[in-house]
């Protein structure tokens, strides 16, 4: 077998790259060892968002790109991505004051190009009583603004269906085990049904998410490892008692926590806990559960929470390794090539569910000089996405 592009990993980044490469006219094979969206891409907060909080860490270009992609996905995938009204309550004790939130929302609106979805309001105090029992003591204001929500796994499957309709092929379960790269291309080895097989490709794209570094280690000649680390984010799912979407400030460490109705449940998250060890084993820790429930109870003191009715899940962010807390760390995707002049291996690390399409287009632009010339067959910015 011989392909222009072989992609490892069927999360949102892998299917996004498969779709964009197939749309650009290349032959594509995707290798996935478990199932589509088996890992981080079904463990997210399910938001298609600009990322209001990234304004605090001055990640303006990421926010602008995310808002642009949000607008596009609302148009291309109306059955998978829908608008929600998000509420931010501000208290006398909140670290982010009411003027600061107002300014942030105005900047968000500016970066969205003043589109209809960027409008926001400050609710009149007469409507506070309708907000699911939100604590009103010391409440100064409640802002309402627009975001979008999705089913991350269904979105990943829909992007794959689009890639497949453009001719991309999938081997699953098929586990990448190693590759030898030469100036002319790569010989790639994978395991399928217990047997080792090989495939040739002009370029290899590593979209293995938390396993990304272990893929690079198995490619010769050895290329430099991106400096990244794994940070766990846990979520709780509770019976739905809240009908509005909230963006809350944790009273213990002031991090932003989402409380979101999702599929008739309440999705509460998330945390930032350094993860060491097997990327296949992220688990919500007792202290993460306690931290999330304490935030919920702080804002909704009347809620009755039964421990036995709570389920949880956890996923791993791939973040650039720097000093300081994970909360303020860049969420920009890291694209690392083995060799800038003659690329054979490109690794896609981290990034956002929201910006998968823009990332994939960037990846294809980087691959193009190492690939044979082909005629584009479609434009990903115009391809509708429907539930698979
Ligand atoms: C807690 C949390 C909340 C988040 N919330 C949001 C949000 O609300 N909105 C947003 O936009 N973004 C969010 N993100 C970011 C987003 O979810 C991730 O950036 C994205 O899902 C990463 O996708 P990926 O394809 O890189 O990795 P993954 O989804 O982890 O996919 C990697 C795939 O590679 C496969 N694989 C690994 N090794 C091999 C191998 N040897 N052979 C074959 N296959 C292999 C795995 O099985 C897996 O399917 C969140 C992230 C986290 C952790």
Q: How confident is residue 323, by pLDDT bands cut at 50, 70 and 90?
A: low
Q: 3-state DSSP: the chain helix, strand, coil percent, rounded to 5?
A: 30, 30, 40
Question: What pLDDT is attached to residue 325?
Answer: 65
Query: DSSP readout, 355-377?
Result: THHHHHHHHHHHHGGGS------
- The pLDDT value given to residue 321: 83
Instruction: Tell me: pLDDT of 50 over 70.
Output: yes
**What pLDDT band is residue 341 in, cutting at 50, 70 and 90?**
confident
* Least trusted range by pLDDT, from 18-27, 67-76, 273-282: 273-282
pLDDT of the residue at 180: 98
Neighbours of 142 (CB within 10 A): 23
The predicted structure's pLDDT at residue 324: 64
Paired sense of beta strands 245-249 and 81-91, if any: parallel
Give pLDDT tens digits for 179-234. Answer: 999 999 999 999 999 999 999 999 999 999 999 999 999 999 999 888 899 999 99
Lowest mean pLDDT among 156-165, 221-230, 352-361: 221-230
8 lines ligand 1 (CB under 6 A): yes
Residue 382 to residues 20, 145, 307, 367, 385: CA-CA distances in angstroms? 12, 27, 45, 22, 9
What one-character-per-residue DSSP string does 109-143 give?
Answer: HHHTTT-GGG-EEE--GGGGGGSTT---TTEEEEE
- Among 44, 219, 362, say which to mutate for ligand 1: greatest number of ligand atoms within 8 Å of CB: 44
209 lines ligand 1 (CB under 6 A): yes
With a 6 A CB cut-off, is 16 part of the ligand 1 pocket? no
CA of 11 to the centre of ligand 1 (A): 5
Taking each continuous run of H as one helix and of E as one strand, the counts in the chain are 7, 19
Ligand 1 atom closest to residue 231's alpha carbon, by position in its atom list: 53
Quote the DSSP letter at residue 155: H
pLDDT at 267 over 80: yes
Which residue puts its alpha carbon closest to atom 3 of ligand 1?
Answer: 44
Q: Which atom of ligand 1 is nearest to the CA of 350?
A: 19
Q: Are 359 and 348 within 8 A, CB to CB?
A: yes
Q: How confident is the model at residue 38 (pLDDT cuts 50, 70, 90)?
A: very high
Q: Are strands 228-239 and 311-320 parallel, antiparallel or unpaired?
A: antiparallel
Q: Decide if 321 contacts 225 (C-beta within 8 A).
A: no
pLDDT over threshold 70, residue 326 = no
Report the alpha-carbon distance of residue 5 to residue 367 in Å, rounded: 9
Token readout for 337 is 């090539």
pLDDT at 350: 93
Ligand 1 centroid distance, CA of 252 (Å) = 28
238 with 310: CB under 8 angstroms? yes
- Is the shortest distance between the CB of 319 and ligand 1 below 6 Å? no
Specify the residue with its C-alpha closest to ligand 1, atom 52: 44
Secondary structure class of 286 (helix, strand, coil): helix
Sorted by where each begins, the domain ranges of the chain are: 2-41+153-226+331-382, 64-148, 228-320
Sole residue written with tokens 């059955």: 79
- Expressed in angstroms and rounded, the spacing between residue 40 Cα and the centre of ligand 1 is 3
Mean pLDDT of all residues belonging to the chain? 95
Q: What is the CA(97)–ligand 1 centre distance, in A?
A: 33
Q: Are strands 256-262 and 245-249 parallel, antiparallel or unpaired?
A: antiparallel
Q: Is pTM beyond 0.95 here?
A: yes
Tell me the HSE value of 290 on the side-chain side, using a 13 A CA sphere: 4
CA–centroid distance, 232 to ligand 1, in Å, is 12
* Span 2-41+153-226+331-382 CATH architecture: 3-Layer(bba) Sandwich (3.50)
CB atoms within 10 A of CB 144: 18
Domain 228-320 falls in which CATH fold?
Answer: D-Amino Acid Oxidase; Chain A, domain 2 (3.30.9)
Q: What is the DSSP string of 52-109?
A: GGGGTTT-HHHHHHHHHHHHHHHHH-TTTEEEEEEEEEEETT-SS-HHHHHHHHHHHH
pLDDT band at 329 (very low <50, low <70, confident <90, very high): low
* pLDDT confidence of residue 57: 86
Equal CATH topology for 2-41+153-226+331-382 and 228-320 = no
pLDDT of residue 85: 98
Q: Is the CB of 50 under 6 A from ligand 1?
A: no
| 108 within ligand 1 shell (Cβ under 6 A) | no
Q: What is the mean pLDDT of residues 262-273?
A: 97
Summarised one tens digit per residue, pLDDT across range 226-252 is 889 999 999 999 998 899 999 999 999
> What pLDDT is stored for residue 1 in this prediction?
77
Supply angle C-alpha 352, 353, 354, rounded to 5: 85
Task: Give the residue from 172, 178, 65, 181 showing the smallest Cα distance to 112.
Answer: 65
């Amino acid at each position: 077998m011989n392909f222009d592009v072989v992609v490892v990993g069927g999360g949102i980044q892998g299917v996004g790259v498969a779709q964009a490469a197939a749309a650009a006219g290349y032959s594509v094979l995707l290798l996935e060892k478990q199932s589509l969206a088996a890992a981080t891409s079904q463990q997210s907060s399910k938001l298609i968002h600009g990322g209001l909080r990234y304004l605090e860490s001055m990640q303006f270009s990421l926010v602008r790109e995310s808002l642009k992609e949000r607008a596009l996905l609302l148009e291309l995938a109306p059955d998978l991505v829908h608008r929600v009204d998000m509420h931010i309550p501000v208290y006398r004790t909140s670290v982010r004051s009411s003027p600061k939130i107002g300014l942030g929302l105005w900047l968000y609106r500016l970066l969205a190009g003043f589109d209809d979805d960027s409008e926001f309001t400050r609710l009149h105090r007469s409507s506070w009583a309708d907000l699911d029992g939100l604590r009103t003591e010391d409440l100064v204001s409640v802002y309402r603004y627009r975001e979008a929500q999705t089913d991350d796994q269904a979105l990943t499957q829909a992007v794959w269906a689009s890639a497949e309709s453009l001719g991309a092929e999938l081997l699953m379960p098929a586990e990448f085990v190693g590759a030898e790269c030469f100036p002319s291309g790569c010989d790639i080895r994978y395991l399928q049904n217990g047997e080792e097989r090989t495939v040739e490709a002009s370029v290899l794209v590593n979209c293995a998410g938390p396993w990304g570094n272990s893929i690079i280690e198995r490619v010769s000649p050895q290329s430099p490892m991106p400096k990244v680390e794994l940070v766990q984010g846990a979520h709780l799912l509770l019976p739905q008692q809240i009908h509005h979407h909230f963006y809350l400030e944790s009273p213990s460490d002031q991090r932003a926590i989402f409380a979101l109705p999702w599929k008739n449940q309440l999705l509460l998250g998330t945390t930032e806990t350094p993860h060491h060890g097997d990327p296949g084993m992220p688990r919500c820790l007792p202290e993460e559960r306690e931290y999330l429930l304490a935030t919920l109870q702080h804002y909704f003191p009347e809620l009755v929470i039964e421990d036995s009715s709570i389920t949880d899940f956890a996923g791993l962010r791939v973040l650039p390794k720097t000093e300081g807390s994970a909360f303020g760390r860049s969420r920009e995707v890291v694209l690392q090539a083995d060799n800038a002049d003659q690329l054979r291996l490109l690794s896609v690390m981290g990034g956002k569910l929201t910006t998968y399409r823009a990332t994939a287009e960037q990846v294809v632009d980087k691959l193009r000089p190492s690939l044979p010339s082909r005629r584009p067959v479609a434009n990903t910015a115009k391809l509708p996405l429907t539930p698979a």
